[in-house]
Structure 1
């Protein structure tokens, strides 16, 4: 058994061994497309200028580490959630601007924005031909369903075009996952658990990839879908009729968000385990009959999303088959399965930070709700399913984001200020030493 004292060593050993083995494989030409395996990134050589650029983020973290836990512990819950969201947003932006900038990843020719011209004024026609025309599209579009492009198309049509506004959307929605996960943790494990988790969510090392990868947007959508579902399942508030209407509206919103996930990324199908497990825990306390209207509304919302895409000419199984064909022809499919089987988990450890590992292995803090580990463990099971499948070989620093944030909530179980500082330090080191294309 790994003790609390030996946990940082075990965490560093897992991460370090993945980089060591990856370096050997890269030197031998086995991982020619990954220059800093297990990350799909380049090493950033520290310079006086790059270190100076990190000073604002470091100064912000130095203030946030001691102050934010006090705020989230003592402010009214809404204010505590707002404070955590503000810190998450500031932390993410400060890290991004210390490097290539907030919008830089969206300028890459393999990103989603590159196909907006093809969609043009006929997004429905583009959707109907998506599977047929998939081989002609950039890498990220070929690897995903069509909804990410349609989201950016809608943003452009609303008068907010280009990489900057795409980055704003992704960062704001991605950082808002801190609030949504906080609400979900409160519903499952109680308010104290939510308050303890908020600082770790806000200062997560994952912020390095929240700015700016589209997977951060996926994380926000999934987190809010789960939170809305759990809010819909509550049995309190207002008159019986009004409460029923509210639950149906929340359930429908949850269903639309959760139903959108498989159309944002094929790798988000296992993500649905998280809201299912969370709902099962909550229903154990409220009763299935009282929440049946909310559950049916959620299922209706999910079905409506699938029906709309089918009516638009996109059949999800055909999209999976077409993307799998593209993946098998891509150099990424040749990455060694056994290496990434453990290296992917090392990246997960890096993205979630040492405090998350401590939280997952910590004993119960009190005699309160026993569900404190339920949501992070559900996320971990979903990650393991994807990892074992072999379709996630590398580039998981972005793919894991929707799952990593739920895992990070486990860090609140330790309540150690030093581990919160370690989270921030991990983020600073990643930003300072790694040049990621996202």
Structure 2
């Protein structure tokens, strides 16, 4: 049943409904930046509220990248609207990769693998694993005294992600270059996974409207060569399979197999990063809404099978989490105030990754189907924030939450031209509030990479 449209309130009301959320988004980012100013050196966060450091960089490449982004913002909505479904999924994924790579090139070709080439990153643990063997590496991973000698990001994650890059090395794809290519290839699949879930929960038209906002999100600045985008992809497919398992009219055998596959991916996902558990809220909301409680059993069995395999190998997830918490509290976590990052720093960094379009969508979109998914993403981010395990760097760490919040932005493309209060849109065929905000998302991404030298 469709809700009645809001009564006309004149031309000023829709304009204010867009301007006020943008102003609130701007205020949050500015206040977080200003409050962090005296403490950037102490917190080892020179680009606060973002990780990295302020380093203004403008070159001819900046202009070219901005032009490419604006061209994508102009034409991608039309392509997503007219292409066949499968071609649209592939096209949106390619646009995601192309835009992410383009933003990295603002600072040079070497930034394409910057997120995996540092000594603190996951591939750097490969020599240590070669020295002691995979078995001993897994068995001793939860020993805090052993863990402290591994690269920083390995210390902050379960054993699974380190094993993934060790596996790449063992098949002859070692080094940051191959690691970056594999990361991009897997990470890009998050886009079609989310769109598949949107089509199942809402419909295909809504999924096509969501696609450009996923492909051109400011978060792509960190997504292209960050392993956190791999986590996002695994979580997205686990969620999509769970959602598909709840579909009406699906055969019981198919429903069980989809749910089992979802559970296996959840089991893999939580062994890649401790922070992935909250995103299960998205699937949980859909299961509860459709009352398909029977899918929970195969999901649980699939997840437990993976957990059991890791236990047999010598790694227990809760012990690993405790060891990571000890290392975090003894290191950077001890010098960054929880109150600031919970109420200002983390929300500001996450808002930069989402862009102002997400804030406007929260304020203006009343599409209940899209809200089913977005509520899970927002709730997951809130739970992660309250855990205290992330003080800064959430523009990267919370990449698995980003697309589920941004599905709400697709609802902006359904707002009528009269409601938006303006007659011109950057994206032909889209109402101005959607088309112009999509262009703003692109500009924001270029501004971020031009002002902050990010480590990912």
**Aligned residue in 1 for 2:155:** 142
Moved over 4 A (4+): none
Aligned length: 416
Q: CA deviation at 1:255?
A: 1.1
| Runs of 5+ consecutive residues of structure 2 not aligned to the other structure | 1-12, 414-433
Q: Secondary structure at the match of 1:181?
A: helix
Which of 368, 386, 410 is residue 388 of structure 1 equivalent to? 386
Question: 1:87 & 1:334 partners in 2: Cα distance?
Answer: 39
1:255 and 2:263 correspond: yes
Question: 1:391 & 1:334 partners in 2: Cα distance?
Answer: 13
**Aligned residue in 2 for 1:3:** 17
Q: CA deviation at 1:30?
A: 4.2
**Aligned residue in 2 for 1:130:** 141
**Aligned residue in 2 for 1:403:** 401
Classify 1:333/1:272 alpha carbon distance in 2 versus 1 (closer, same or farther; 3 Å): farther
1:303 and 2:312 correspond: no
Q: CA deviation at 1:62?
A: 2.1
**Aligned residue in 2 for 1:433:** 451
Which of 102, 127, 138 is residue 112 of structure 2 equivalent to? 102
**Aligned residue in 2 for 1:240:** none
**Aligned residue in 2 for 1:346:** 348
Which of 385, 409, 412 is residue 410 of structure 2 equivalent to? 412
Classify 1:245/1:120 alpha carbon distance in 2 versus 1 (closer, same or farther; 3 Å): farther
1:36 and 2:47 correspond: yes
**Aligned residue in 1 for 2:317:** 316
Q: CA deviation at 1:104?
A: 2.4
Question: 2:140 & 2:264 partners in 1: Cα distance?
Answer: 23
Q: CA deviation at 1:248?
A: 3.2
Question: 1:6 & 1:309 partners in 2: Cα distance?
Answer: 49
**Aligned residue in 2 for 1:374:** 372
Task: Work out whether residues 97 and 224 of structure 2, in 8 Å CA contact, stay in contact via their aligned partners in 1.
Answer: no
**Aligned residue in 2 for 1:117:** 127
**Aligned residue in 2 for 1:159:** 172
Scaled by the length of structure 1, the TM-score of the pair is 0.90
1:424 and 2:442 correspond: yes
Question: 1:223 & 1:215 partners in 2: Cα distance?
Answer: 12
Task: Work out whether residues 206 and 405 of structure 1, in 8 Å CA contact, stay in contact via their aligned partners in 2.
Answer: no
Question: 1:155 & 1:236 partners in 2: Cα distance?
Answer: 40
Deviations 1:175-212 (A, max 9, x none): 21111111111111222221111000000000000022
Question: 1:347 & 1:94 partners in 2: Cα distance?
Answer: 21
Q: Secondary structure at the match of 1:136?
A: coil
Task: Work out whether residues 17 and 364 of structure 2, in 8 Å CA contact, stay in contact via their aligned partners in 1.
Answer: no
Deviations 1:291-311 (A, max 9, x none): x3x543322110111000000
Question: RMSD value over aligned CA atoms?
Answer: 1.9
Task: Work out whether residues 157 and 324 of structure 2, in 8 Å CA contact, stay in contact via their aligned partners in 1.
Answer: yes
Q: Secondary structure at the match of 1:131?
A: coil
